[in-house]
A and B are shown apart, each in its own frame.
Chain A
Amino acid sequence: MNDIIQPIHIAPTRSTPEVRFDPARHLLEIRGQSYPENAFAFYEPLLRWMDGYLTHVQSETIVEIELQLPYINTTSTKCFLMLLEKLDEAYRQGKKVAVRWQYDIDNESELECAEEFKEDLSLPFDIVPKSAE
């Protein structure tokens, strides 16, 4: 459990988002564009970490996922689908998991992408416009 609740910080690049996990708040944030050469290589460690984390996290702990993904290519979309399915599974098993996606109001594709993920999931999934500045 100890190494699972370590903070995570992966700095953004042009084709990969910033990833932050704050263990004190049980808050995972992913922000930025995602179209790396190999999306699975980038997301696999995060997906594996999430499996471990969700197994160990207490049922009463509130786990929050904050997303801002203006553009994700198709392979990254598959990775996010896998991530969200893990979270949904944990939610259905009684864990308190919630997703909040802040989208750019001028970016219809981002809103559509968020809505399409939400359609197939049962966990709380808020889609809110990003507040200006």
Chain B
Amino acid sequence: MREKGSGVFRLIDRNLLEVQSILRNNGILISFSGRLSQQLIEEYGDAVKTYLESESRPKNEIFHIFSIFIEMTQNIKNYCTSKTDSVSCDQIAQSSIVTIGKDDQGTYICAGNLIEHTDARPLGERIDALVHLDKDGLKTLYKERLKSSEPKDGFGAGIGLIDMARKATSPIQYSVTEYADNLSFFTIKAVV
């Protein structure tokens, strides 16, 4: 309390403005950062809808954005749940960020979170496998996977990724940034 100029108090005079200009420079309109729960996903989802409605976006676009937003956040949350036994569990759960913004390609939904290094390649490969598929190819794959999936074990990110790719207007992009010994930051972006 005594050192008013240090630590978190600085946010008041300088850092928050920096955060805002970073958001603005990247076209980010909405950003949610930190641990996700189902309740937060629902609250955020509603907020996203309300925001887009207030911008008078076409209804179809709002449904697509909402759908991709929900799949992305639930994928992250499921990933965190699958890592409950990991030593990095808490760090992973705290690391999620989901944004909605606009750039020259259109409106995008972009999300990131820490993942264990060994998960990066298989996840990237799943996305790579979708890049060259057209809408019909994605539809066929989606239906196949949906039919053959086992309800009890959940899907992993597989079907959710195909669903996002179907709703996006260009192929899903991703990047992997090494973060620590065992962890990488995985970013995924879908444009509608």
Chains A and B are bound partners:
yes
Within 8 A of B (CB), among A1-51: 14-15, 35-37, 40
In the A-B complex, list the 5 residue pairs whose CB atoms are closest, starting with the nearest.
A37-B38, A106-B59, A74-B159, A14-B42, A108-B60
Residue A56 at the B interface, CB < 8 A? no
**Does residue B16 face the partner (Cβ distance < 8 Å to A)?**
no
Q: Contact at A15–B160, with CB atoms within 8 Å? A: no
Residues of A within 8 A of B147 (CB): 81
Bin the interface of chain B by size: 20 to 34
Whether, in the assembled complex, B46 has its beta carbon less than 8 Å from a beta carbon of chain A, the answer is yes
Query: In this assembly, does A133 line the interface, its C-beta being within 8 Å of a C-beta of chain B?
Result: no
Task: State how many angstroms separate the Cβ of A76 from the closest Cβ of chain B.
Answer: 10
Is there contact, CB below 8 Å, between A15 and B163? Answer: no
Residues of chain B contacted by A109 (CB below 8 angstroms): 60, 63-64, 67, 167
CA distance A81 to B146 in the complex (A): 8
Which of A40, A70, A79 sits near B63, CB closer than 8 Å? A70
Residues of A within 8 A of B42 (CB): 14-15
Interface residues of B in 59-112 (CB under 8 A from A): 59-60, 63-64, 66-67, 70-71, 74, 77
CA distance A75 to B70 in the complex (A): 12
The answer to whether A71 touches B143, judged by C-beta atoms less than 8 angstroms apart, is: no
**A74-B163, A75-B154 as given contacts; A116 in contact with B38, CB under 8 Å:** no
Cα of A82 to Cα of B46 in the assembled complex, Å:
28
Chain B residues with Cβ below 8 Å from A74 are 71, 146, 155, 159-160, 163
B7: A residues at CB distance < 8 A: none
The reply to whether B46 and A71 contact each other, CB–CB distance below 8 Å, is no
